[in-house]
Amino acid sequence: MLRVFLLLTIIIGVFGDTVDVGCDPGWYPNGGYCYLFNTNKRVTHQEAADECNDYLATLLRVESANEKAFLNTTIPQFTSDGFWTDMTDLRFDGTSTGTGVWEWGGYEKVDLSTIAWEQYPTSNSKDSCGAINIQGLFQNWGCDQRLGYVCELDVGAVGGCPFGWLSGTDTCFYFSNTSDPSQLLSWNKAKAMCASKVAGTVKGKLVTLDRAIDAAYVVNEMPEVANSTIMYWTGLIKTANAWAWDGGDPYNAGYFSWAKEPDHINNNEHCAILKTDGKFSDQNCNRQMNFACRLGTTTENSDYYMGCNGWTRAGHKCYQIYDGPKNSWNDASRMCHSLGARLLRVESLDERDWVEWQLTDESHPNVYWSGLNDRATEGTYLWEDGTLANSSLIRWNQEPNSWFGDEDCAGIRQDGHYNDYDCFLQAPAICEYTGSPCPPGWNTWSTTNPVCYYVTTLNNTFTWDEANTFCNKDKAQPGQQTPTLLAVNSQAEQTFINTLLAKQQLSPRSWWTGLN
């Protein structure tokens, strides 16, 4: 039988598992969303938005007939003069009077078929924030009016973490109750406490920052979790003469920073705590501290990382779409740079199409900061690093219009179109960095044409059908392009393949391709 070897081309990525446990107590489920109706206190519109953001939610947006019907039957159960929603006609930084154009969250036009006004908005330009009353009708109020509010949480987008946990990109985090003395524990007891917290089949563990996405999330959340004096046990411990994550998670010191430590006082500080400024400190493991847990992940293998350390690979770049936290453009840029990355920069038609395809996922309903801006010269759009943007790669949504001459930063919407926004708009971001062209063991012939090629070893031989199945199924990853047997599309690519195969040791007679 002819001995044959598999040669395949592939660009793949994987997303971590999520824990879907439905709505937390006190929240009402409907159509993949959870709703919280708050009547316990009256707050301004901005205070309401901040409180919803603490839940990783937004103020209410009514975007479908189903949602409208749900509200009409649910909201009469509550007593309130009105509930704040996410609808305003404010400029993004909130410093100007109303524009008369009503939008959800400052960037999504309101579909008037999904709402009903009690009476059409008044002409008073200071009544620029929208509320819904117990009849399900909308009213416009001054944004400093004190009302109840409704929060809306997209369970699919945040992964549906257990009650009391915070949702990261693809895992959940728990910070112990700082007002409960019984949650002050030694390191060993904190480890046991985390392990006792189970969601489905996934056990908790002391928090580890073994991936860039987790480090970014935790460091950004810490100032919101507790006051500046609180410290939390983590999974970072000293073994022999080196620091490592308990349980063997990959250790990369570049994902976090120490305060002024480790100083190892009295040769007796072998466990690390996390402070609310996001920095670590070594401490005596018997000290009584608060603690931070995370739910474990199970997809930590080379196929998952693809050389991108948990980010999604496409070509020679690694990407992370963050649905939270929301930041100004400057703060979003700083967040990306803290991870060794930058805000999104689109440099080719293939990259544009790939990014647009990623954003069609329903779990990404936001506007996301990109690196595109005209802050230096009005009308001249550059990427964050000063590179001139190729206008043929930018789809504007009837923009840029530089409303009031103060919209200098560009975000990309779920439909792939760009809008210019006030740089103070609070929005999530897309970060990217240039990775190695291919993961370990793979080859490419051009960083400008970063297709990755894999040649099977002498221990793996197949019939053509087996090779095709191996490509399509065994190497396939959820939500990504299906891998295929080799297809040669140019003489340059053929020349590279010839050179690649000539380098193979103990060379076989031939390799299967996709030609049939």
Which residues in 277-298 are b (16+ Cβ under 10 Å) and which e? ebbbbbbebeeebbbbbbbbbe
Q: For residue 488, with 0-12 CB atoms within 10 Å meaning exposed, 13-18 middle and 19 or more buried, which class applies?
A: middle
Dist CA 321 CA 342 (whole Å): 12
Which residue range(s) make up the domain with 367? Answer: 317-434
| Same domain (yes/no): 343, 411 | yes
What radius of gyration do the chain's Cα atoms show? 26
| Same domain (yes/no): 446, 426 | no
Dist CA 476 CA 13 (whole Å): 9
**pLDDT confidence of residue 317:** 84
Q: If you write DSSP's letter for every residue of 254-312 in order, what string do you get?
A: GG-EESS----GGG---EEEEETTSEEEEE-TTS-BEEEEEE-----SHHHHTTSTTSE
Q: Is there a domain that residue 413 lies in?
A: yes
pLDDT digits (tens, 9 = 90+) for 263-284: 666 677 889 998 887 788 899 9
Instruction: Give the 3-state secondary structure of residue 39.
Output: strand
| Same domain (yes/no): 291, 167 | yes
Q: Select from 54, 41, 325, 276 the least CA-distant residue to 164.
A: 54
Dist CA 74 CA 78 (whole Å): 8
Domain boundary among 434, 455, 488: 434
Residues contacting 67, CB < 8 A, separation 6+: 30, 31, 33, 114
Q: Is there a domain that residue 153 lies in?
A: yes
Q: Is there a domain that residue 212 lies in?
A: yes
Dist CA 493 CA 488 (whole Å): 6
**pLDDT confidence of residue 227:** 60
| Same domain (yes/no): 444, 414 | no
Dist CA 5 CA 508 (whole Å): 7
Dist CA 35 CA 33 (whole Å): 7
Domain boundary among 264, 295, 326: 295
pLDDT mean by block of 10 residues, the chain; 516 residues: 36 30 74 87 89 82 90 91 89 60 78 84 76 92 92 66 69 83 92 80 80 73 65 87 76 73 71 86 92 68 51 80 83 85 92 88 80 91 92 83 72 91 90 72 63 71 80 53 75 81 68 85
Residues contacting 499, CB < 8 A, separation 6+: none
| Same domain (yes/no): 280, 330 | no
The CATH number given to whatever domain includes residue 427 is 3.10.100.10
Domain boundary among 393, 417, 434: 434
| Same domain (yes/no): 10, 58 | no
Tell me how many domains the chain contains: 4
Which residues in 59-88 are b (16+ Cβ under 10 Å) and which e? bbbbbeeebeebbeeebeeeebebbbbbbb
Dist CA 244 CA 417 (whole Å): 44
- 159: tokens are 């992964």
| Same domain (yes/no): 287, 360 | no
Element (H, E) at 41: strand 33-43
Task: Determine the residue type at 47.
Answer: E
Dist CA 239 CA 234 (whole Å): 15
Task: Determine the residue type at 490.
Answer: S
| Same domain (yes/no): 326, 424 | yes
Q: Is there a domain that residue 309 lies in?
A: no
pTM of the model: 0.43
Q: How far does Cα 97 stand from its chain's mean position?
A: 32
| Same domain (yes/no): 466, 418 | no
| Same domain (yes/no): 454, 410 | no
**pLDDT confidence of residue 70:** 93
Residue 185 is given by DSSP the state B
End-to-end CA distance of the chain: 19
pLDDT digits (tens, 9 = 90+) for 310-344: 677 777 788 888 877 788 999 899 888 877 789 99
Q: For residue 372, with 0-12 CB atoms within 10 Å meaning exposed, 13-18 middle and 19 or more buried, which class applies?
A: buried
- 119: tokens are 């009476």
| Same domain (yes/no): 153, 230 | no
Q: Is there a domain that residue 311 lies in?
A: no
Q: Is there a domain that residue 304 lies in?
A: no
Instruction: Give the 3-state secondary structure of residue 145.
Output: coil
Q: Is there a domain that residue 21 lies in?
A: no
| Same domain (yes/no): 179, 203 | yes
Instruction: Give the 3-state secondary structure of residue 225.
Output: helix
Q: Is there a domain that residue 46 lies in?
A: yes
